[in-house]
Amino acid sequence: MFDLDLWREIFQSINKNRTRSLLSGFTVAFAILLFTILFGIANGLQNTFEQEFVDTATNSIFIMSGRTTIANEGLQAGRRIQFKNEDYEYVKEEFNDKVEFITSRVYKNVNASYKNEKNSYSLIAVHPDYQFVEKNIIKEGRYINQNDLENRTKIIVIGRLVEEDLFIKESAIGKYINLNGIQYMVVGVFTDEGGDNEERLIYMPITTAQLLYGNNDYIDQINLTYNPNLNYDQALGFSNLLTRKLKSRFSVASDDQRAIRVFNMAEATQQIDLMTGGLTVIILVIGFGTLIAGIVGISNIMIFIVKERTKEIGIRKALGATPKSIISIILIESILITAIAGYVGLLIGVGVLELSGPSLEVYFITNPGVSTSLVIGATITLVLAGALAGYLPAQKASRIKPIVALRND
Amino acid sequence: MLQIKKLHKSYPIGNSSLHVLKGIDLSVEQGEMVAIMGSSGSGKSTLLNIIGMLDEADSGEYILDGLLIKNLTEKKAAVYRNKFLGFIFQSFNLINYKNALENVALPLYYQGLKRKERQELAMFHLEKVGLTNWAHHLPKELSGGQKQRVAIARALAANPKLLLADEPTGALDTTTSNEIMEFIQQLNDEGKTILMVTHEEDIANMCKRIVHLRDGVIIEDKKIKQVRAGHYV
């Protein structure tokens, strides 16, 4: 039941002892302020890490080749390993049950021109699956398809910024771009969350690139995503197996680190997760430490308040106050001060994060802030903290004997 | 109205204990005005505290208005105090951040009355002690006599059966003391039962009965002819 009179009593007590209430509130406000800022910064760091990896599927594996560093099976060190289409087919067939999407990549730098606009871009020749490995989003038109591969069509898919650079105020779809002297038709425009660099790329069917730039079946890199149902250990096992099989396929020594490199995104993600996890734990420990200091502070002040109000409580008891009503007064006063002061601290903290957010990006802190759920959690914590801080003093107050309190001094 | 039989009370002091009340028998009728006298250490305050349910006796029987007061829980004691007893203290014991009206209304709050009723009743009692114009003043803005009158109004507010006064004039000068005593006598005339602890002879003489305590026993219990305080004012 909402007891208006009880609240009136409490507000009067807080209001008539403003300095005391302000002082106790300050401790809590400051604790929550620190807590909020720390938490916001931790969130900001986490955001930065996550952003770095957001554009690539987390279940990706990259396979790259280089020169051998160790002589093996009668072959000299320094031999160059070159992947070809058959290697792509091999991985695709051999690990059919584990591979989700797979694509080869061939890199080229090209000078592109359309009418009077010119610029140079990176060209990546790929399989259709690349869209899903790289998480490209088609904005307009279509992506590379199987038909393009088979017919070696001279089409390209360009990034949003390429379109912006070359096509001023017109759609690129259906237009022809000149790349190093050959005309290609633009069939699609894509966007990517990985930032500007990822949107300044041009994609081409891999078969077309192999035909036109060297007439061979070389590939620079194989990218794949594995079955998302694999857990971390299985994923790691898969990439290890992949490494071993490829090394023996190319007669590379098993301890050669350069010739064939398999990079498993899961490992990187795992490391980042561990790091941000550790960071979060540290910040939580510091934050809760601050919070506990605040609670102890207000508890101290409440004990002092009870001491100061001993006589008043004695009078109230002599006049018929039950222990329960004494507890309510002290407890609710504590909760109220804690909750209000805590909220002020929270608001200031959020404000500080909001204001300083943009200037913190240099320090790898992106979008520092606290979530709604944290605010709700903090509110509950504050009420609990107030109750905790007020409980012992309130118990103490309820046990005050009026006869002792009213003794003439 | 009030019966006490073979009341004993001792306080522990270190390893030994101090026997303060050594078998008190006392009975007070409705409408009496009793002064409990004795030097300090005679046990008079302890007796008043037990009667006021602020303290509990070790043994013996205490019946208030037909109700046996024994082994009360804190909550029950609080309810009984609120319902049966009005307290007047030497040091007034007003709550310093509440004005006169709010102080008087406090026991009514613990009776669970509505705010409007409380304020009306409190105002009525303040009027009775002649402090209508001071209703919204804080205790620190009042004189000693006025403070004690607020305290009396507060004690009366809950319409108690028994008024307990602990040295009600102890902190006041003679003139003010007489004013207060005159008012208390007036209350008694209207039928209130009053029990008062004092060590001043002339104050005791303004009651109708004097109970003398020495070393925890009643050595004298006599009815007297009341001296009206009005003569001095």
Cα separation, B64 vs B181, whole angstroms: 25
The pLDDT-based confidence of B9 (bands split at 50, 70, 90) is very high
pLDDT higher than 70, residue A408: no
pLDDT band, very low/low/confident/very high, at A384 (cuts 50, 70, 90): confident
**CATH for B138:** 3.40.50.300
**Band of residue A409 on the pLDDT scale cut at 50, 70, 90:** low
Facing B81 at nearest CB: one of A13, A318, A325:
A318
Sort out which chain A residues have CB atoms less than 8 A from B87's CB and list them: 318-319
| pLDDT value at residue B195 | 94
Least confident of A189-198, B23-32, B155-164: A189-198
Quick check: B11 contacting A, CB < 8 Å? Answer: no
Here the ipTM equals 0.89
A320 and A260 within one domain: no
Residue range(s) defining the domain that contains residue A24: 4-52+271-405
DSSP of A268-325: HHHHHHHHHHHHHHHHHHHHHHHHHHHHHHHHHHHHHHHHHTHHHHHHHHHTT--HHH
Q: Could you tell me which chain A residue has the CA closest to the CA of B118?
A: A5
Tell me, yes or no, if B87 comes closer than 8 A to chain A by beta carbon: yes
- Burial of residue B39 (CB within 10 Å: 0-12, 13-18, 19+) is exposed
**Does A316 share its domain with A167?**
no
Residue A95 pLDDT grade (very low, low, confident, very high; cuts 50, 70, 90): confident
Tokens of B151: 């305290």
Q: Identify the pLDDT of residue A78.
A: 83
Instruction: Tell me the average pLDDT across A375-390.
Output: 78
pLDDT over threshold 60, residue B91: yes
Give the domain-ending residue among A232, A266, A300: A266
Say if residue A279 is in the same domain as residue A205: no
Q: B105 vs chain A: nearest CA distance in angstroms?
A: 10
Round to whole Å and give the CA distance between A94 and A241: 11
Q: Are the CB atoms for A334 and A389 separated by under 8 Å?
A: yes
Q: According to the model, what pLDDT value does residue B29 have?
A: 93
Non-local (6+) Cβ contacts of A208 within 8 A are: A125, A148, A152, A153, A154, A155
Contact A265/A295 with Cβ under 8 angstroms?
Answer: no
**Selected residues 222-281 of chain A with any CB under 8 Å from a CB in chain B:** none
CA distance A12 to chain B (A): 8
A312 touches chain B (CB under 8 A): yes
Do A47 and A66 belong together in one domain?
no
Structure tokens that stand for A341 in this block: 């002061």
Give A32-67 pLDDT, tens digit per residue: 888 888 888 877 777 777 666 655 667 888 888 888
Query: Which pLDDT score is estimated for A362?
Result: 62
Q: What percent of chain B has pLDDT over 90?
A: 59
**Tens digits of residue pLDDT in A282-328:** 877 887 787 788 778 778 888 888 888 888 888 998 888 888 888 88
Q: In terms of residue numbers, what domain contains B70?
A: 2-231
User: Measured between CB atoms, does B107 come within 8 Å of chain A?
Assistant: yes
- DSSP letter (8 states) at residue B172: S
A166 and A177 in contact (C-beta within 8 Å)? yes
pLDDT in tens, B176-227: 999 999 999 999 999 999 999 998 899 999 999 999 999 999 999 999 998 9
A315 at interface of B, judged by CB pairs closer than 8 A = yes
User: Does A308 share its domain with A361?
Assistant: yes
Q: Are A103 and A224 in contact (CB under 8 A)?
A: yes
Other beta carbons less than 10 A from residue B119's beta carbon: 17
3-state helix, strand, coil in chain B (%, to 5): 40, 30, 35
Say how many C-beta atoms besides its own lie within 10 A of residue B180's C-beta: 24
Q: What is the DSSP letter of A332?
A: H
B176 has a chain A CB within 8 A of its CB: no
CA angle A286, A289, A291 (to 5 degrees): 115
Contacts of A319 in chain B (CB under 8 A): 81-82, 87, 106-107, 110, 154, 158
Q: How confident is the model at residue B112 (pLDDT cuts 50, 70, 90)?
A: confident
Number of domains in chain A: 2
Phi, psi dihedral angles at A112 (to 5 degrees): -110, 145
- Arithmetic mean of pLDDT over chain B: 90
Q: How many residues does chain A have?
A: 409
To the nearest whole angstrom, how far is the Cα of A10 from the nearest Cα of chain B?
Answer: 12
Q: What is the mean pLDDT of residues A185-196?
A: 83
Cα B41 to Cα B18, B20, B21: the distances in Å are 11, 8, 10
Q: What pLDDT score was predicted for residue A1?
A: 44
**Residue A205 shares a structural domain with residue A253:** yes
Min Cα separation A390/chain B (Å): 21
Asked if residue A82 and residue A22 are part of one domain, the reply reads no
For the cut 60, the answer to whether the pLDDT of residue B6 exceeds it is yes
Q: Which range has the worst mean pLDDT, A7-16, A146-155, B123-132?
A: A7-16
**Number of structural domains chain B divides into:** 1
Q: Which residues does chain A have within 8 Å of residue B90's beta carbon, measured at their own beta carbons?
A: 408
Q: Work out the angle at residue B230's Cα, subtended by the Cα atoms of residues B228 and B233, and round it to the nearest 5 degrees.
A: 135
A319–B contact, CB cutoff 8 A: yes
Q: What is the pLDDT of residue A196?
A: 74
What pTM, to 2 d.p., does this model score? 0.65
What single string gives the DSSP state of each residue in A57-121?
Answer: -TTEEEEEE-B--S-BTTBPTTPBP-EEHHHHHHHHHHTTTTEEEEEEEEEEEEEEEETTEEEEE
Calculate mean pLDDT across residues B164-184.
90
Mutate to test the interface with B, among A2, A17, A319, A327 (most CBs of B within 10 A): A319
Distance from CA of A272 to the nearest CA of B (A): 59
Q: Which of A47, A403, A288 is nearest to B166 (CA)?
A: A403
Contact between B107 and A319 using a beta-carbon 8 Å cutoff: yes
pLDDT bracket for residue B141 (50, 70, 90): very high
Contacts of B91 in chain A (CB under 8 A): 408
Q: Which of B55, B93, B109 sits opposite A315 (nearest CB)?
A: B93
- pLDDT of A356 over the 80 cut: no
| Chain B touched by A13 (CB under 8 Å) | yes
Residue with tokens 């004494």: A326
Do A224 and A237 sit in the same domain of this protein? yes
Residues 146-175 of B with CB under 8 A from A: 154, 158
* Record: contact A403-B115, CB cut-off 8 A: no
Between chains, do B111 and A320 touch, taking CB under 8 Å as contact?
Answer: yes
Q: How many CB atoms lie within 10 A of CB B184?
A: 25
Are B81 and A319 in contact (CB < 8 Å)? Answer: yes
Question: What is the rounded average pLDDT for all residues in chain A?
Answer: 82
Same domain for A148 and A260: yes
Which tops the pLDDT comparison, B146 or A135?
A: B146
CB pairs < 8 Å spanning A and B: 70
| B75 shares contact with chain A (CB less than 8 Å) | yes
Do both A47 and A64 map to the same domain? no
pLDDT per residue as tens digits for the range A234-273: 888 888 888 888 888 888 888 888 888 888 887 777 777 7
Q: Report the first-to-last Cα separation within chain A, whole angstroms.
A: 39
Is B119 part of the contact surface with chain A (CB cutoff 8 Å)? no
Do residues A23 and A74 both lie within one domain? no
Write out the two tokens for B40.
Answer: 């300090």
Cβ within 8 Å of residue B9, ≥6 positions away: B19, B20, B21, B43, B46, B50, B55, B57, B58
The Cα–Cα gap between A104 and A63 comes to: 9
> Are A210 and A325 part of one and the same domain?
no
Mean pLDDT calculated for residue range A361-382: 70
The answer to whether A294 and A27 have CB atoms below 8 angstroms apart is yes
C-beta atoms of B97 and A12 within 8 A? yes
User: What number is the average pLDDT over the span A13-22?
Assistant: 78
Q: Are B78 and B111 in contact (CB under 8 A)?
A: no
Around Cβ B70, how many Cβ atoms within 10 Å?
A: 11
